Structure 1
Amino acid sequence: MGNKRYEIVEGGGITTPKGFKAGGLHCGLKKTDRHDLGVIVCDVPATAAAVYTTNLFQAAPLQVTREALGVDGILRAVIVNSGNANACTGAQGDADAQAMQANAAEALGVSKNQVAVASTGVIGELLKMDRVNSGIEKLPAKLRADIQGSDDFCQAILTTDLVKKVSCVSLTANGRQITIAGAAKGSGMIHPNMATMLGFVTTDALIGAPLLQEVLREVTNVSFNMITVDGDTSTNDMLVAMASGLAENDELTRSHPDFEAFVDGLRHVCEELAKAIARDGEGATKLIETTVIGANSDDAAQAIAKTIIGSSLVKSAVFGADANWGRIIAAIGRAGQPVNVGTVDIRLGDIVVLEQSRPIPFDEEIALEYLKGDTVGINVNLNMGNGQATAWGCDLTYDYVRINAAYRT
């Protein structure tokens, strides 16, 4: 663990925290036989929080979830479909999202106001509600409290993703073991200004809804908000957290001696999911991790790191294993943040390519071999202050264009 205050739970999933079950099945929204409808259920009323996309065109399920959480900050379940975003679908889309909520509540035996709804997939097409409703009726029989339940749910939320994305940690509070787990989907239309395309966090910690909301937003800002795949912010981005309280710790507050350990654990879960999304970017072959230090502020460092990671020219250079640092410094200069143009250092991994804004001779062959790896680090020191941030993205490949040129077909 080192100085970490949590332990990674190998093989853990969203059903690992006490009180949670999950499941998934194929109801016919996808053309393949992969799961496309999933649910997470808590045995008890769970305190809950969520963050949402800043895209002005927000999908109908987001509105339903906002309203549910606005009642008392309590959830019992989250129902999710993939294959159809139910976005920009007018009054019928609104009615369909509300029907998903009501029908799931009835099938699970919980209050309608305690069910969140999420959808992902193609924008502008109406849900095939006969298939959704048939699937909802079968979901309760698919619920499991073991890792299979988590895996089935994770498969149900995927669209163009190639892999499931899960993270789980444990920590101690008041001598009680607390578990935090997360699952996410996302590989394209990723440039969040809130969360990821879809993310779900479960924990058995005892924590109030208002504080959970604060912490979730704080952690989101340094994890999901620091990834970009293609510069597009989805209509459906949403991150939902549920806390069962069944670990029976003293309620977490900011003055609780183990509060920071909880925050660290939550940050790790969200950061691992964010990196998994970046690594699984549509057509991607490499994860790019950009760290900026020496900025005037953390906000400035964040803006510069995300500008670098979002640059199509930088992403293309990494795909081609081209050590073209000129594209990096150009991105730094257009990030709209204060920069001393005479004090910038840039490294590709450990390879120094720029020092005090002056080129440093380097071995092109060594750089080529480094850039051929599956993880590429871009490290920038502005030498101006104490601000720092890390952002994650992926290379821009031929396959990205191929996948998105035929997304609806």
Structure 2
Amino acid sequence: MTTDRNGGKKFAGSIDFSRRQFMVRTAGTVAAAALSSAGFAWGDLAYGQQLKGKPVSFNVAIRPDWTQGWFGMINEEKQFWKKYLPEGSEVTFTHPIQGGIVTSELIAGKSQIGHNGDAPGLIATFQRERVDIRAIGLIGSSPTGYHCYQVLVRKDAPEFANSKEAIKWLDGKRVASPKGSCSDRFFQSVFQKEGVKPAEYLNLSIGVITTNLRNGQLDGACTWDPQGAAVSTIAGEGAARVVSTGEPWNERDSGTMVCRKDFMDENPDVVKAWLKGEIEAQLWYCDPRNHAEVLRIAQKYVSGFEHKALWFSLAGLLPDPYFGGSIRDEKLFVWNDDVTALQKRVLEFLAKEKVVPSAELLPGAIDDSLARQAMKEMGVSSPLVRLKAIPLEKGYPLVQDPKQIDKYVELFA
């Protein structure tokens, strides 16, 4: 691990975005996907990849309410999936606001594929007495938990020396998080590590949390972006302060793609073709040359959020004294040792809370074989891309000015 020009940690092997290059890993090495002033030739990814056969139709549950899952709305809006599924296929989309609702849609047969957080994605695989659901790929993974571990305190809370001091201040206070979410698992974990016992720990939705922070009825909360950015003093309405991610505890977050196994068994080539569209959507979403359009699309799908807050949730750096980490997002797409270790912690927590019957996954619960095949056939490898976190004052003014696109892209080098 090295140090970047802003003094932040820089992960070895991270893929940089520069004025002339948008780097992707391909075929076991790092190869350049040429970026001219006209942008990356995205059509090359799909060349010869469209599945032949009868048209298919199915529904996918995506999460515009959660920044790490935004590439789902990009795939819906840009329709990358049409390049890969059989000609004439139809895909519809629903937008659940929490992981448990995604799972309910798969159980009910309303959706066949869904986007979930780390905890809800694993919980879904324990539903076999109702429907067999498998985790088939990764949505993203912030090495320091930017997307799922947004710890907020009320705006008039004291100024703290660091994130751990802020967490300890919550001892004896009134806090909240959506029960069973990735945020809830993390919040309870750091309380245990730091010996903190809140007076009240409420199970509230992110919307109610926002209202209670505005009204001063909560001292603290843990939620996910863009909600954290939207209520923050750094980039949002100013109802609360973001005082931590998972960085002080080396806590990575992750998101999981889930799929009904009966759908996979009946349509393995279709699922693989769908995953190819997801790969292109993730790469397109992370390319800083597309960030202005990403934000325009986000404003269409996510209402009530300031433009600045949306950008901050996409690429903003949480600065000292609550340094959030130098990498905003990492698109792994398939499991690695870090995500497997996170998964073990999540399962231990869920079993302890009696949310799942065991800390051991059911056989075959994680099956990223189709995702690996899709990556191989497209000539890419994991991680697809890493997205750097950029100081607000440097990045946000440039992303709004098309004439400054080259300077904006250079920030990600």
Q: Same fold per TM (> 0.5)?
A: no
Q: TM-score w.r.t. structure 2 length?
A: 0.29
Q: TM-score w.r.t. structure 1 length?
A: 0.29
Higher relative contact order, structure no. (Cα contacts within 8 Å, ≥ 6 residues apart): 2
Relative to total residues, which structure has the larger helix share, 1 or 2?
2
